Structure 1
Amino acid sequence: MKLTSLRIITKDIQQSVAFYEKAIGLTAQWYTEDFAELSANSITLAIGSTCTMKMFGENLTASTGSKNSIIEFLVANVDDEYERIKEITTDIIQQPTTMPWGNRSLLFCDPDGNLINFFTPVSSDAIKKFN
């Protein structure tokens, strides 16, 4: 089994796609007006409007964001990313902080309230884990 994609459902797909293009520096591939993808080396971030959820069944159209999961991106320098991200959003949950497990992390929210973590390994164990 291989995890290939993470999909975010949003009420405002134009706003969300524009946010992620700026945040992660990739250009979205649009497939329909309700579905786009931003593909990186290891995974694709898919963004669908609430309309796409109707294809999976009724009562699945809510888009309230999630505080019980975090979308994580490994970045070269989290402190540099912080300077860039604070120009994109004011919804910063945690400024760059070194966590007990050895990653320096920046936590913020996308326009729908989903948590995003940009992190850089800084301890020797964390650096080994991600090399």
Structure 2
Amino acid sequence: MKFVSIRVVTGDVTALKVFYAALTGVEPTDLAPGFAEIRLDGCTLAISSEDIINKLNGGAIVPRSNRSAMIELEVDDVEAVRARVADGALAEIVQPPTAMPWGNDSMLLRDPDGAIVNIFSRPRR
């Protein structure tokens, strides 16, 4: 088994594509109307419209209702990302850069649909 992607379902595909492209620096690849991927090193972030889920999966996923999972993006410098988003135009900072007990530096953002995004760096060894 190989873990390959996380899919976020949304009522506004364009807003999430713009957000994650600005955050990651990677342009989305549109694969079908209402479905795009942002292909990152290690995993793909898929963005799907609510309409597709309702048509193909019987409404199994409800956008803007996630309260138990987070998207985690590893970066070299959490402070550099904080500086890019500090004006609040790109994202709400939920937790400023914080040293975690296991050694990571971590900052939590909220995407346009309200999902939590953990921007973190591992300790240098």
TM-score (norm 2): 0.91
Identity %: 31
Question: Which residue does 2:115 correspond to in 1?
Answer: 114
**Offset at 1:41?**
1.9
2:91 and 2:112 in contact (8 A); partners too = no
Counterpart position of 2:69? 69
SS at match of 1:21: helix
Aligned position for 1:104: 105
Give 1:40 deviation, angstroms. 1.3
SS at match of 1:58: coil
Q: Please give the alpha-carbon distance, in whole angstroms, between the structure 1 residues aligned to 2:57 and 2:22.
A: 32
Indicate whether 1:34 and 2:29 are aligned. Answer: no
Which residue in the other structure is 2:10 paired with? Answer: 10
Q: Structure 1 stretches (4+) deviating beyond 3 angstroms? A: 87-90
| Aligned alpha-carbon RMSD (Å) | 1.6
Counterpart amino acid of residue 63 in structure 1: P
| Distance in 1 separating the partners of 2:36 and 2:43 | 14
Q: AA paired with 2:38?
A: L
Go from structure 1 to structure 2 and tell me whether the alpha carbon gap of 1:85 and 1:41 turns closer, same or farther (over 3 Å shift).
Answer: same
1:86 and 2:86 aligned: yes
User: Cα distance, 1:90 vs. partner?
Assistant: 4.6
Q: Over residues 10-31 of structure 1, what are the superposed CA-to-partner deviations in whole Å (9 max), with x where a residue is unaligned?
A: 1000111000000111000001
Show the counterpart of 2:43.
43
The answer to which structure has the higher helix fraction is 1
Q: Distance in 1 between matches of 2:91 and 2:71?
A: 18
Q: Is the 8 A contact 2:36 2:48 kept in 1?
A: yes
Structure 2 residue runs of 5 or longer lacking an equivalent are none
Amino acid at match of 1:107: L
Q: TM-score by structure 1 length?
A: 0.87
Opposite residue 20 of structure 1, the aligned amino acid is: Y
